[in-house]
């Protein structure tokens, strides 16, 4: 049986997110659903693309629930094939150990993963995460502040996500329905 890649998208306050899933699980989450994003993901996977709404439905429903505040944990299989063994070890530790509403520093995640990776390299792993939000790289912060974020429109998306999750206090003008 040939492995394949299926796409689906979901509208959120942060825009239309693109999900790519193989038979093994969710392997891609893109911040925009465009033909170019789909083509880049398909090229990275090197798999034929099929129309299989049922395959991506659980991830799309989980994302809808996350953005409405009704789901706090993603319990989805992840296809790690776009990650190296070190990236996989770090990202899997994050996925399994840092729940909604919690944060971990880059250094703490390096220790938690047991990968022997320094904080700066942990930041690089977060920046290359092929499944942001589901594998919550936004929950990894610097010891002296938020740190960076390459998802969406940048660090303001990270701040918004952490505010939504209750990890950082909301400002008086913060609104769940308004994207950064």
Rg of the chain (C-alpha set)? 16
Residue with tokens 């502040």, as numbered in its chain: 145
Query: Which residue pairs, CB below 8 angstroms and at least 24 apart, start in 93-102?
Result: 94/135, 94/136, 94/137, 94/139, 94/140, 95/134, 95/135, 95/136, 98/136, 98/139, 98/140, 99/72, 99/73, 100/72, 100/73, 100/136, 100/165, 101/72, 101/165, 101/166, 101/167, 102/139, 102/167
Tokens of 155: 């660090």
Active site residue 137: yes
Buried b (16+ CB within 10 A) or exposed e, 22-33: beebbbbbbbeb
Q: What are phi and psi of 6, to 5 degrees?
A: -120, 145
Q: Which of 26, 59, 115, 137 is catalytic?
A: 137
Residues with catalytic roles? 137
């Amino acid at each position: 049986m040939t492995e394949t890649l299926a796409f689906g998208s979901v509208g959120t306050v942060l825009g239309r997110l693109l999900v790519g899933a193989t038979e093994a699980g969710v392997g891609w989450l893109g911040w925009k659903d465009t033909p170019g994003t789909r083509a880049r993901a398909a090229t990275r996977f090197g798999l034929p693309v099929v129309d299989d709404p049922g395959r991506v439905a659980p991830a799309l429903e989980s994302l809808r629930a996350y953005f409405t505040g009704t789901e706090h944990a993603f319990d989805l299989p992840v296809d790690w094939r776009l990650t190296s063994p070190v990236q996989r070890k770090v990202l899997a530790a994050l996925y399994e150990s840092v729940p909604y509403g919690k944060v971990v520093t880059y250094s703490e995640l390096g220790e938690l993963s047991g990968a022997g990776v320094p904080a700066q390299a942990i930041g690089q792993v977060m920046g290359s995460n092929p499944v942001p939000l589901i594998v919550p790289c936004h929950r990894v912060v610097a010891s002296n502040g938020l740190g960076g974020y390459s998802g969406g429109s940048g660090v303001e998306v990270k701040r918004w996500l952490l505010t939504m999750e209750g990890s950082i206090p909301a400002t008086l003008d913060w609104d769940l329905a308004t994207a950064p």
